[in-house]
A = this chain, B = another copy of it.
Amino acid sequence: MSVLVVGSVAIDTVEAPGGRADDIVGGAALYFSLAASFFTSVRMVGVVGPDFPRAVLDDLERRGVDLGGVEERPGRTFRWSGRYHEDVNVRDTLHLDLGVFGDFRPKIPDSYQDSRYVFLANIDPVLQASVLEQLRGPEVVGCDTMNHWIAESRPALEQLLKRVNMLVINDEEARLLSRERNIVRSAARILAMGPHTVLIKRGEYGIIQFAGQSVFAVPAFPLEEVTDPTGAGDCFAGGFMGELARSQDTSPAGLRRAIVYGSVMGSFVVEDFGPRRLMRLTREDIDRRYRQFVNLTAIDGV
């Protein structure tokens, strides 16, 4: 089963304590697609300008990413540049140019309309809702959002959440959305808004999942060096949704395994600038790290 993703495609410039990278490809939909492509075929919806490198699109296609939903429009691709602090959990945006992404209106190609596994990466909740309206019968709908929409578009977001199965957000966003500081109460409030599962990303501390009465926590993989955190959350979502779409196992155990695969993908992407680490990743790397996650968390086995 393929997975559909809708979101940004970008060209980023990143400065971090370990160096810098100029004009590397990025954006939530790109990171998601790359990560998910290790698990299943991907249908990608986004927009780029003619400045977006053709070779990257060709590479995505070779990886099984269907680019039928990626429009090329006149203008510049969305550009972001930022600087990470010594504490890489903190970053400043240095420059932002929405370019063709500024009036992005997702159009779902006919051939995508039967998509059952869908991920709505972080865009305006009105646009996220428009994606669902273009689909015939989405079954597993994952969704990300950000502080901006929570603060500025709460009514639209709350409407959307009624149609979302799994919300993937970070701890700060969860607090803002739920108006609760405590993570357990925060998750309970979010679950009452619609999703049956909320996955809260805690950066270097990993992921905690709340689904009904079930709670699952997985630590982040302890790395000696985090080179560039850009895309970690989107790669988590890509690994998670990609594995779910592959296995079609949304049982509690199936969800947990998918969360670990998502964590694996998030742990790799931060090892180099932009998507470079994923570009040279192998399936064997993924399975090895999955086993390391099992060892990292197993109470009885080592």
Contact = CB atoms under 8 A, between A and B. Distances in A.
Interface of A: 86-87, 181-185, 202, 204-206, 208, 214-219, 222-226, 252-253, 256-257, 260, 293-302
B215 A217 contact: no
A214 B181 contact: no
Secondary structure dominating the interface of A: mixed
B222 A252 contact: no
Contact of A225 (B86, B182, B214, B222): B182
Determine how many copies of this chain the complex contains.
2
Given A87-B181, A299-B293, A300-B253, A222 B214 contact: no
Contacts of A87: 181
Given A205-B206, A215-B296, A297-B297, 11 more contacts: A182-B223, A183-B204, A184-B224, A205-B219, A206-B219, A214-B295, A216-B302, A217-B219, A218-B297, A218-B299, A294-B299
A71 B224 CA distance: 46
B216 A208 contact: no
29 contacts: A87-B181, A182-B223, A182-B226, A184-B222, A184-B223, A184-B224, A202-B205, A205-B206, A206-B217, A208-B219, A214-B295, A214-B302, A215-B222, A215-B296, A216-B297, A217-B222, A217-B297, A218-B299, A219-B219, A253-B302, A256-B299, A256-B300, A256-B302, A257-B299, A257-B300, A260-B299, A293-B299, A294-B299, A297-B299
Nearest to A188: B224
B205 A222 contact: no
Given A206-B219, A217-B296, A301 B253 contact: yes
Contacts of A204: 183
Nearest to A219: B217
Contacts of A253: 300-302
Contact of A222 (B181, B183, B223, B260): B183
